[in-house]
């Protein structure tokens, strides 16, 4: 069965806005702002240095509460691929709230015409 795929500029702008909101939430240490970018049942897996972090996205909120603001964070956001209702993105970052560099991969889904992050896969690099 063939499906039509629309790659509208509007969708890319909306996806990037969700990811920019996420990075601004990190910059400001604002958990409520972060929650706006994530689906309530989002998951998070990855390596913080050599330590495996796994499970609910609440791990991210706990980390932000612990480490605070990241006023000097630098980010590069790439939307790697999207279809009508799902997308993959990569965020490279330098100098998070704990002074670490790393990379995030985010899976997003469009629900009720709104893009939300459903999973975060990450690794710190310093």
| pLDDT over 90 (residue 100) | yes
Instruction: Work out whether the CA dihedral 7, 8, 13, 18 comes out positive or negative.
Output: negative
pTM here is 0.92
Whole-angstrom Cα distance, residue 64 to residue 88?
23
- The torsion angle over the Cα atoms of residues 93, 94, 99 and 104, rounded to 10 degrees, is 20
What was the pLDDT predicted at 1? 41
What was the pLDDT predicted at 7? 67
What was the pLDDT predicted at 9? 86
Please say whether the beta carbons of 126 and 103 come within 8 A. Answer: no
The 10s digit of each residue's pLDDT in 21-60 is 999 999 999 999 999 999 999 999 999 999 999 999 999 9
DSSP letter for 2, please.
-
- Compute the average pLDDT of residues 116-120: 98
Find how far residue 84's CA is from the centre of its chain.
19
Helix (H), strand (E) at residue 14: helix 9-28
Task: Please name each of the domains of the chain with its CATH number.
Answer: 9-124 (3.10.450.50)
Q: What percent of the chain has pLDDT over 90?
A: 92
């Amino acid at each position: 069965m063939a499906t039509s795929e629309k790659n509208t500029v509007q969708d890319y702008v909306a996806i990037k806005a969700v990811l920019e909101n996420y990075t601004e939430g990190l910059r400001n240490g604002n958990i409520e702002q972060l929650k706006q970018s994530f689906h309530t049942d989002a998951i998070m897996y990855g390596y913080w240095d050599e330590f495996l972090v796994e499970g609910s996205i609440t791990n991210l909120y706990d980390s932000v509460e612990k480490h605070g603001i990241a006023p000097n964070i630098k980010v590069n956001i790439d939307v790697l691929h999207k279809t009508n209702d799902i997308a993959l993105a990569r965020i490279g970052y330098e100098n998070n709230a704990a002074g670490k560099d790393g990379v995030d991969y985010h899976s997003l889904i469009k629900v009720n015409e709104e893009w939300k992050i459903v999973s975060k896969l990450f690794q710190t690099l310093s």
